[in-house]
Amino acid sequence: MAKKKDKGITFEEGIGQLEQIVRELEQKEVPLEEALNLFRQGIEMVQHCNGLLDHAEKQMEILLEGPDGELEVRPADFAVEG
């Protein structure tokens, strides 16, 4: 699997690459060095995708009614489980 710079990879492309890495790791005859390299790439891709999700969450806003009855925009605050 060719290593691409993470910066230009979309979330969907990252998930696709993770799926490919998993398929390759599931092969029983992957040499140890290659398996370790694939695992490292997978961890890096998970971190990249997580960063994209964090960035998207920060960009989301919720429109709520304030105490005075006026609508106001607030940053979204999503509880993260796990």
Indicate whether this model's pTM tops 0.95.
no
CB 35 within 8 A of CB 25: yes
Instruction: Judge whether 49 and 15 are in contact, CB under 8 Å.
Output: yes
pLDDT of residue 44: 97
CB 49 within 8 A of CB 11: yes
Q: Predicted confidence band at 74 (pLDDT cuts at 50, 70, 90)?
A: confident
Residue 66 in this model has a pLDDT that exceeds 90: no
Domain segments of the chain as ranges: 6-75
- CB of 48 closer than 8 Å to CB of 9: yes
Q: Over 60: is that where the pLDDT of 6 sits?
A: no
Please, what is the end-to-end C-alpha distance for the chain in angstroms?
30
Residue 59: band (very low, low, confident or very high) from pLDDT cuts 50, 70, 90: confident
